[in-house]
């Protein structure tokens, strides 16, 4: 793994830097991308610093908007990805058209796709890594930079509830808050849902199947159309089954327009990222994503989750 100093030396060498994040972004993806871009722009006003993506921010557009990035911008450019574990998830497929590629991430490094990388699976959020990088290299930090970074930190730690949260995480949060950002506004924005999304959460609970401490629900394209919710807005329902006391792990299957399914894995204890890796996915031990081509694979995925959850219960009873 490369060091922060190695990454900074590369940044110094390039007049154009294009920063990517993953598709269907969460606050950590947008926040780490925007925070890094804003800090570098403040430090190097002569450089062209761009945020690349497919304009799929959805309800998270308040954190940051993407720039218009053209194919010509990649000529001789440095490309950096944040919060993106593997190449299929990189938003904007021009990422490999630059001169050099750097990966900054906190997921297990199952796809070491970059020329240089800094990957820390123990970090609860990519935003925490970006703040550490900013501090190590004495880069600027102000309200505009801290705002997206704090949003991403709160989002990926589950409001500081997930097990990767550490004392250092709270130090980072305090540093960001000390810039004067409105942490109450950020918390409210992360919690706000539309009436349609609230009904979607209710639908997940109503249609949920529970077995041996595991649960799953399927949201079809017809369901989304009926409620007036788009694909990106379904992210608010991913954590919904976890509110039930006896559910230890769960899947939410969201049908894409092409008929396949995006698979969300979440857990309160059973390790589920190895299950996700079997289905074109991966992620953290307790939060991962994958894909399913049809309902047969949906059923297979849930059966695998039930097996893992049963074993976990037996070991911990």
What CATH number is associated with residue 103? 3.90.1640.10
87 and 178 part of one domain: yes
pLDDT band at 148 (very low <50, low <70, confident <90, very high): very high
Give SS3 for 103.
Answer: strand
39 and 180 part of one domain: yes
The HSE-up count of residue 39 (CA atoms within 13 Å, CB side) is: 28
49 and 70 part of one domain: yes
What's the pLDDT score for residue 55?
84
182 and 278 part of one domain: no
Residue with tokens 């945020």, as numbered in its chain:
51
What's the pLDDT score for residue 134?
98
171 and 206 part of one domain: no
Which residues neighbour 262 within 8 Å (Cβ) at sequence distance 6 or greater? Answer: 24, 231, 253, 254, 256, 289, 291
182 and 219 part of one domain: no
Of 190, 217, 244, the last residue of a domain is 190
In eight-state DSSP terms, residue 86 is S
Give SS3 for 235.
Answer: helix
- Pair 27, 62: CB distance under 8 Å: no
112 and 173 part of one domain: yes
What CATH number is associated with residue 208? 3.10.310.30
14 and 163 part of one domain: yes
Whether residue 70 is predicted with pLDDT greater than 80 in this model: the reply is yes
Domain total in the chain: 2
What's the pLDDT score for residue 59?
83
Kindly report, residue by residue over 212-239, the tens digit of the pLDDT: 999 999 999 999 999 999 887 898 899 9
Overall pTM > 0.85: yes
**Burial class of residue 229 (count of CB atoms within 10 Å of its CB; 0-12, 13-18, 19+):** buried
Per the structure, the complete domain to which residue 205 belongs is given by 195-316
């Amino acid at each position: 793994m490369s060091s922060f100093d190695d990454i900074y030396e590369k940044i110094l060498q390039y007049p154009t830097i294009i920063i990517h994040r993953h598709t269907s972004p969460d606050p950590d993806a947008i926040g780490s991308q925007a925070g890094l871009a804003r800090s570098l722009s403040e430090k190097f006003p002569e450089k062209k610093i761009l945020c690349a993506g497919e304009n799929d921010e959805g309800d998270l557009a308040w954190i940051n908007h993407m720039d218009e990035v053209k194919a010509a911008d990649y000529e001789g450019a440095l490309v950096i990805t944040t919060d993106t574990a593997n190449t299929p998830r990189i938003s904007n497929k021009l990422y490999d058209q630059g001169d050099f590629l750097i990966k900054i991430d906190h997921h297990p490094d199952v796809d070491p796709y970059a020329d240089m990388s800094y990957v820390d699976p123990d970090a609860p959020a990519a935003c925490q890594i970006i703040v550490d990088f900013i501090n190590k290299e004495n880069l600027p930090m102000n309200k505009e930079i801290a705002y997206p970074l704090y949003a991403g930190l709160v989002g990926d730690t589950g409001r500081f509830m997930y097990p990767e949260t550490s004392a250092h995480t709270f130090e980072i949060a305090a540093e960001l808050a000390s810039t004067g950002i409105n942490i109450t506004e950020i918390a409210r924005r992360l919690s706000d849902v539309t009436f349609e999304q609230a009904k979607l959460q209710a639908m997940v609970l109503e249609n949920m199947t529970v077995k041996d401490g595991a649960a799953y629900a399927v949201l079809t394209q017809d369901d989304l159309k009926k409620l007036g919710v788009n694909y990106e807005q379904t992210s608010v329902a991913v954590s919904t089954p976890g509110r039930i006391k006896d559910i230890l792990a769960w899947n939410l299957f969201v049908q894409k327009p092409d008929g396949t399914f995006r698979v969300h894995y979440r857990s309160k204890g059973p390790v589920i990222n190895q299950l996700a890796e079997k289905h074109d996915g991966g992620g953290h031990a307790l939060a991962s994503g994958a894909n399913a081509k049809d309902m047969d694979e949906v059923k297979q995925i849930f059966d695998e989750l039930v097996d893992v959850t049963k074993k976990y219960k037996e070991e911990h009873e």
